[in-house]
Chains A and B, each alone.
Chain A
């Protein structure tokens, strides 16, 4: 896929010193924003979910671009996978009509537009006010491996020595928050399982129906009565051989 995109880029944007890195950044950012808007504007639930997955995928692309492969893969796994499960179990199983569409009245659109614009303005202003972000970073950023992140989660911060502490002593990592988060998730899971359970019937319905057919008098018992004549003939044949 990246190859196809690349050829597309080469043809239409013959900028002088085109830097692929920035091209892809612009592309992924554009896809993310466009799909985000599309999510808001779409009225068919499944299309909304599709655009959501595309925009989250584009942000995952941004992470990969920034060299943070671990976070990129995590984003793909959690957000895109999560939306997938949300879409399937949340949307499809509860959708009444085959194509559930949610119409928004124009009044709501205007209101939402105003609130959105206000929030955007605040974000932009604060983003541009940070001096460090204004000029591009020097050189390509080093691609940190996943291991420091892993070690940090286990309590050993290897990527930066503690300020002022003697060489070699390392700050304690994120073990505590990591444990808190996992316990929290466990509680949430147990709660969800408890809420979703439905009291199941004691005995499955099929076996009940079969059991409710009360057995007649044992077949053997009244077989003795009928077994008079030799080969099967009509019961009315009166002993005729």
Chain B
């Protein structure tokens, strides 16, 4: 149950979920439509022949080049990419899912992009999603309590975004 036939099973179960794949990369990955991520993970955790019962980590990568000179030479459009690393305890194999989200919802700066939360599938995702929300600014719909986890509750901005400005002062403490 490896490679292509695993993908065909996934495709059969959830048509249209997989929107891209790259099996030759260092870590082969498949791209999932953002709104279908929760269903795919639910299938992977319960009904998939290889049960992925452990979510290792969720990473958000901000593809955005701040200064214009370099931005011209870049091949990709600015977007936020979410990478899910899964692990099957029984089969001892890993799986990488990727989702591409717009940097801002409807390209309105300040509106965080939204993606369904996978807390329902693995309760461990709770803290990972809170960290991604806190540092990279991605709103997980359906998350039990989406609050900042590493930065203070009243912190503005999302530090890991490329266009993040260090605040000048925070409660009287000089920033820059």
Residues of A within 8 A of B (CB): 216-217, 219-220, 222-223, 225-229, 232-240
Contact = CB atoms under 8 A, between A and B. Distances in A.
A226 B28 contact: no
B90 A229 contact: no
Contact of A226 (B3, B4, B29, B90): B90
A240 B7 CA distance: 15
A28 to B, nearest CB: 59
Interface in B87-128: 88-96
Given A235-B3, A236-B7, A222 B49 contact: yes
Nearest to B86: A235
B3 A227 contact: no
Contacts of B7: 236
Nearest to B1: A225
Contacts of B23: 236-238
B50 interface: yes
Nearest to B48: A222
Interface of B: 1-4, 6-7, 21, 23, 27-30, 46, 49-51, 53, 88-96
B92 A232 contact: yes
Nearest to A234: B28
Given A225-B49, A226-B1, A226-B50, A236 B95 contact: yes
A228 B90 contact: no
Contacts of B6: 235-236
B92 A235 contact: no
Contacts of A240: 3
A235 B90 contact: no
B34 to A, nearest CB: 20
Given A234-B27, A237-B23, A226 B53 contact: no
Given A234-B94, A236-B3, A225 B28 contact: no
Given A226-B50, A228-B2, A235 B27 contact: no
A147 B139 CA distance: 83
Given A228-B1, A236-B28, A216 B53 contact: yes
Given A216-B53, A234-B93, A238-B3, A226 B27 contact: no
Q: Which of A216, A226, A235, A237 has the most CB of B within 10 A?
A: A235
A24 B95 CA distance: 88
A129 B26 CA distance: 109
Given A232-B93, A239-B2, 6 more contacts: A217-B51, A222-B51, A234-B28, A235-B2, A235-B3, A236-B21
A222 B50 contact: yes
Q: Which of A228, A236, A239 has the most CB of B within 10 A?
A: A236
Nearest to A229: B2
Contacts of B90: 219-220, 222-223, 226
Given A222-B90, A232-B92, A238 B50 contact: no
A234 B50 contact: no
Contact of B93 (A220, A222, A235, A239): A235
Nearest to B29: A236
A215 to B, nearest CB: 12
